């Protein structure tokens, strides 16, 4: 296990834990060997893994110790998170996988995003009784309609085939044992069940697993998921294809079309249209990663349908027009907030599934477009929000006096916050940055009966308005826009950093702000990750953690920024690669209960 390095910034984060209402460690069961403290920072050699959960990080570390590579460890860790973090991730969801190959020096990606069934219609979220949209929560998310065709297992299968040395059975074995043996329930696990008690109680399969006898598992108790262990066992024996074809596929479709609702629920739970053919036809995509250079670093991220790579990249490109490091911190943060608003306006105007929408990725990530957009930033005053999107047409001005008309503002979205991210590096230098999700905390709320996993509600990421003709409108076979932003940063062709975060549409700003903190503001990775956050997503107010407004609110209000309080933004994990060949693995020290970082050979 890695060693903790309690720098000043980390101690500040510890002091902030009370304000964030979070605990630094999982609550232990007295004397139980399964109880593990969370360790947010580890440094050393031989490979590293960092995730939100100590049991999952331990699984990944053991894979690395036994000679597995970064892909093997990433899949094993994610499968374990499906056991211990089932309300954020699992085989009923999807995600985006970014991989650096030390042999080729290339960054490659897998798009395992959930997909709309072929029977989905533009009015899927319209209540037929009223003619209006179902309310977003809990009605719209708690439905078969919201369930997209899952891509997680297809992602694992493709990643292991391309880069792994493990079989699927090898990768799933530790998680299968964890599901059977059980783990110690902490405050976060119990509170997430209680927060979803109405939704979970609506389904017989979900309440049986997570609310036995009508009660959530107590903190410190042991939670076992034998149904999931059996499901993992099936997949280990028969491969990922057993999920997309055969009896298991039929069970998934049955849960979507005929959700296992209890008789006395007040929720409407409209059924979905998914067919077994939708599962059988699902394929991952392998798009080229997005790429932009930032102050000598090469930043690689996810292409559409993720908006993460383009929007993180555009924020950084706009900020590269300014010497942030020479500015007072509050002035640098003003520029960060303004650049974020501009990039989110462009995200809303252009980003969607590139199989259905012509997304101008090259233009959005061009220096010419960034220079033109930077003309909209007043160094002394925040612009009125929302700002308009720019004209990404490849024809850019050389002077701010010539900036053309913009193309109109875009609305907000309701992307779910519940996601998880892990970062892995192996002894050879391969790197994985992988973000997975089932969308809302608890996804659709539907556990597939006798299978032990929740189905996603990812299709609520589409624009629900049936009259919307924008880039993120509903269409059969389409993948909804995402903000997931797994990122790998190279310097002179070698890994420098890898990072990512959960947090819905705040993922983008979490990753961008962390990179600005590390590269421009001179923070080490621990400090960059722990620093208070703010997220400007082209809205009238800036979402900000209390610690951010306490430190910077007065100065930024003088620029015209207004703030709305949120308890926390993101829960990032990262690995930094140091000149001596060692790595520093970092997880959130306090947000969402904190995370756990480990290295094979501690310094």
Crossing angle, helix 226-238 and helix 168-181, to 10 degrees? 170
**Tokens 């392998």 appear where?**
286
Q: Give the separation between CA 435 and CA 152, rounded to whole angstroms.
A: 10
Q: Could you confirm whether 437 is annotated as catalytic?
A: no
Report the C-alpha dihedral over residues 527, 528, 534, 537, rounded to 10 degrees: -170
Q: Do 53 and 81 contact (CB within 8 A), yes or no?
A: yes
- How far from the centroid of its chain's Cα atoms is residue 531's Cα? 19
In the set 419, 437, 549, 583, the catalytic residue is 419
Q: Give the separation between CA 559 and CA 549, rounded to whole angstroms.
A: 14
Q: Give the separation between CA 309 and CA 305, rounded to whole angstroms.
A: 10
**Among 440, 156, 112, 146, which Cα is nearest to 274's?**
146
SS3 454: strand
List the Cα angle 154/50/197 in 5-degree steps: 70
Element of type H or E holding 261: none
Q: Give the separation between CA 530 and CA 513, rounded to whole angstroms.
A: 11
- Within a 13 Å sphere around the CA of 314, how many CA atoms are in the beta-carbon half? 33
Q: Give the separation between CA 501 and CA 442, rounded to whole angstroms.
A: 18
Q: How many residues does the chain have?
A: 603
Backbone phi, psi, residue 401, to 5°: -70, -15
Q: Give the separation between CA 464 and CA 127, rounded to whole angstroms.
A: 11
Burial of 328 (0-12, 13-18, 19+ CB in 10 A): exposed
**Tokens 């969607």 appear where?**
352
For the chain, count helices (H), then strands (E). Answer: 20, 17
Q: Do 515 and 489 contact (CB within 8 A), yes or no?
A: yes
Does residue 386 have a cis bond before it (omega within 30 degrees)? Answer: yes
Structure tokens at 116: 């709309």
Name beta bridge partners: 497: 489, 576
Q: Going by C-beta distance under 8 Å and a sequence separation of 6 or more, which residues neighbour residue 305?
A: 111, 113, 351, 352, 353, 354, 479, 480, 481, 482
Q: Going by C-beta distance under 8 Å and a sequence separation of 6 or more, which residues neighbour residue 181?
A: 34, 224
> Which are the catalytic amino acids?
419
């Amino acid at each position: 296990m890695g060693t903790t390095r309690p720098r000043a910034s980390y101690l500040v984060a510890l002091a902030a834990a009370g304000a964030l209402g979070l605990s630094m460690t999982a609550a232990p069961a007295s004397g139980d060997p399964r109880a593990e403290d969370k360790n947010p920072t580890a440094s050393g050699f031989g490979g590293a893994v960092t995730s939100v959960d100590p049991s999952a990080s331990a699984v990944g570390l053991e894979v690395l110790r036994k000679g597995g590579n970064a892909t093997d460890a990433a899949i094993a860790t994610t499968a374990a998170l499906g056991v211990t973090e089932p309300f954020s991730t699992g085989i009923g969801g999807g995600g985006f996988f970014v991989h650096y190959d030390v042999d080729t020096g290339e960054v490659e990606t897998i798009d395992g995003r959930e997909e709309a069934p072929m029977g989905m219609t533009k009015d899927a979220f319209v209540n037929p009784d009223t003619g209006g949209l179902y309310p977003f929560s809990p009605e719209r998310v708690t439905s078969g309609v919201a369930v997209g065709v899952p891509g997680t297992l297809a992602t694992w299968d493709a990643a292991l085939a391309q880069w792994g040395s493990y079989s699927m059975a090898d990768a799933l074995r530790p998680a299968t044992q964890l599901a059977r043996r059980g783990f110690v329930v902490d405050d976060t696990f119990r509170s997430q069940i209680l927060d979803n008690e109405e939704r979970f109680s609506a389904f017989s399969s979900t309440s049986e697993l997570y609310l036995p006898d009508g009660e959530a598992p107590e903190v410190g108790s042991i939670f076992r998921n034998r149904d999931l262990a059996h499901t993992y066992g099936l997949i280990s024996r028969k491969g990922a294809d057993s999920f997309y074809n055969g009896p298991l596929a039929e069970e998934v479709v049955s849960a979507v079309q005929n959700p296992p609702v209890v008789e006395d629920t007040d929720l409407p739970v409209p059924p979905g249209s998914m067919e077994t053919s939708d599962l059988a036809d699902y394929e991952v995509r392998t798009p080229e990663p997005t790429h932009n250079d930032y102050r000598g670093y090469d930043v690689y991220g996810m292409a559409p349908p993720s908006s993460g790579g383009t929007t993180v990249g555009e924020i950084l490109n706009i900020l590269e027009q300014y010497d942030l490091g020479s500015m007072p911190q509050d002035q640098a943060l003003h520029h960060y907030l303004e650049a974020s608003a501009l990039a989110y306006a462009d995200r809303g105007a252009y980003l969607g599934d590139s199989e259905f929408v012509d997304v101008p990725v090259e233009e959005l990530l061009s220096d010419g477009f960034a220079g033109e957009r930077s003309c909209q930033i007043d160094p002394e005053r925040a612009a009125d929000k929302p700002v308009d999107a720019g004209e990404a047409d490849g024809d850019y001005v050389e002077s701010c006096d010539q900036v053309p008309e913009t193309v109109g503002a875009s609305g907000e979205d309701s992307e779910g916050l519940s996601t998880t991210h892990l970062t892995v590096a192996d002894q050879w230098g391969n790197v994985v940055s992988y973000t997975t999700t089932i969308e809302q905390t608890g996804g659709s709320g539907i556990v597939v009966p006798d299978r032990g996993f929740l189905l996603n509600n990812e299709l609520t990421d589409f624009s629900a308005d049936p009259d919307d003709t924008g880039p993120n409108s509903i269409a059969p076979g389409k993948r909804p826009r995402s903000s997931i932003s797994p990122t790998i940063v190279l310097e002179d062709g070698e890994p420098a950093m890898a990072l990512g975060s959960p947090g819905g549409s705040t993922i983008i700003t979490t990753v961008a702000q962390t990179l600005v903190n590390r590269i421009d503001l001179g923070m080490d990775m621990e400090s960059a990750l722990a620093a208070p956050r703010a997220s400007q997503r082209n809205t009238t107010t800036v979402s900000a953690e209390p610690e951010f407004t306490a430190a910077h609110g007065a100065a930024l209000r003088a620029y015209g920024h207004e703030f709305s309080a949120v308890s926390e933004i993101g829960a990032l994990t990262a690995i930094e690669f140091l000149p001596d060949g060692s790595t520093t693995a970092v997880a959130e020290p306090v947000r969402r209960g904190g995370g756990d970082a480990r290295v094979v050979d501690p310094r």
